[in-house]
Amino acid sequence: MSDPYYGNGQPLVGVSHLKKYFPVRKGVMRRVVAQVKAVDDVSFEIKPGETLGLVGESGCGKTTVGRSLLRLIEPSDGHVEFENVDVLKASKGDLRRLRRNMQIIFQDPYASLNPRMSVLEIIGEGLRVHKLTSSTSELEDRVRELLDRVKLDPVYINRYPHEFSGGQRQRIGIARALSLKPKFIVCDEAVSALDVSIQAQVINLLMDLRDEFGLSYLFVAHDLSVVRHISHRVAVMYLGKIVEIADTEALFASPMHPYTRALLSAVPVANPTAKRERIVLQGDVPSPINPPPGCPFHTRCPVAMAKCKTEVPPLKEAGSGHTYTCHLDE
């Protein structure tokens, strides 16, 4: 993908050994009896202007990663850096500044907007809280500008969320995220709830905004064709771990991990005569309370060997920036 920002300089976001364990409590004493290992030792970087796709089956920890980066969830362990500032150790003041630069767009355009707030209040809230405008008319002008930028008619400024369609609400959510001129946005299934034709429009809007403002995205989604379209690189998660990460083209052309291969085999291809075998994964994702020993994927892997059940697979390199964790071909 060619755009002016991609790949330049230092990482904007650096994540290393990130963990989030949710305690499971029981009984009247609410004693902790187990831990849900939602995110278990995840590391990656995102460069300025770069979009990293994050894929994997439901429950593998994608949302937990996204929210941990913004500290909407407190991670249990690991490091998150944003422009070399330690996000997890940030003071309240630092966090306020960081939050201006790091925003999130949620999946459900119906649940994520307060029904009692007008468009002006929703989009203008951040500007007001951070005192970025000096008068009501300046605030209104700025909100009108933002509406225009996400291709919504500024005459809607005093309307309420229920008066809009799903795609329009998602545009309101995008305008809200943009209001503080962030550098980084987590898009958590931002288009998953929308009709396919509307999805394409919102994706194109996100790509235009990225190019215009040099934004970086962590783009979380189930739909691999959407992820392929928007992402420079893609990380594949399984049971709280990244099992493969690569440039988008490399990942789709030569997936190395059997889990990635299975996920990709379910994506419709443009040329239906091209031969590709559908790999159907058996069974459900095991519980993250008790992940399988060895390779966490071994219980469902079509090519698992004896040692996959006991030995944690090593991190291997398949090419520049293309890594995966698997015992195959050793």
Which residues of the shown chain bind ligand ATP in the complex (CB under 6 A)? 22, 36, 38, 56, 58-64, 288
Closest contact distance (angstroms) between CB of 302 and ligand ATP is 22
| Near Mg ion in 275-304, by CB under 5 A | none
Answer with the entry of Mg ion, ligand ATP, none that 58 interacts with (C-beta below 5 to 8 A by kind). ligand ATP
Closest contact distance (angstroms) between CB of 297 and ligand ATP is 15
Q: In whole angstroms, give the CA distance from residue 12 to residue 85.
A: 10
Q: Which range in 60-68, 109-117, 245-253, 274-282 contacts Mg ion by CB under 5 A?
A: 60-68
Residue closer to ligand ATP (CB basis): 154 or 286 = 286
Residue closer to ligand ATP (CB basis): 61 or 124 = 61
Answer with the entry of ligand ATP, Mg ion, none that 59 interacts with (C-beta below 5 to 8 A by kind). ligand ATP
Tokens of 208: 């235009």
Residue closer to Mg ion (CB basis): 106 or 259 = 106
| Residue 224: Cβ-neighbour burial (10 angstroms; 0-12, 13-18, 19+) | buried
Closest contact distance (angstroms) between CB of 143 and ligand ATP is 30
DSSP secondary structure code for residue 314 in this structure? P
Q: In whole angstroms, give the CA distance from residue 285 to residue 298.
A: 11
Q: Which range in 55-63, 198-206, 230-238, 306-314 contacts Mg ion by CB under 5 A?
A: 55-63
Identify whether the C-beta of residue 41 lies closer than 8 Å to the C-beta of residue 79: no
Residue closer to Mg ion (CB basis): 113 or 186 = 186
The contacts of residue 176 (CB under 8 Å, 6+ apart) are 122, 123, 125, 126
Q: What is the CA radius of gyration of the chain?
A: 21
Sole residue written with tokens 């545009």: 171
Sole residue written with tokens 């398949």: 318
The contacts of residue 116 (CB under 8 Å, 6+ apart) are 160
Answer with the entry of ligand ATP, Mg ion, none that 231 interacts with (C-beta below 5 to 8 A by kind). none
Q: With CB under 5 A as the rule, give the number of residues binding Mg ion.
A: 2
Identify whether the C-beta of residue 99 lies closer than 8 Å to the C-beta of residue 130: no
Q: In whole angstroms, give the CA distance from residue 237 to residue 262.
A: 13
Q: Does 68 bind Mg ion (CB under 5 A)?
A: no
Q: Which range in 58-66, 155-163, 268-276, 314-322 contacts Mg ion by CB under 5 A?
A: 58-66
Closest contact distance (angstroms) between CB of 45 and ligand ATP is 20
Q: Does 51 bind Mg ion (CB under 5 A)?
A: no
Q: In whole angstroms, give the CA distance from residue 141 to residue 78.
A: 42
Amino acid at 292: P
Identify whether the C-beta of residue 167 lies closer than 8 Å to the C-beta of residue 103: no
Residue closer to ligand ATP (CB basis): 59 or 166 = 59
**Binder among 63, 170, 179, 260 for Mg ion (CB under 5 A):** 63
Q: In whole angstroms, give the CA distance from residue 179 to residue 39.
A: 30
Contact residues toward Mg ion (CB under 5 A) are 62-63
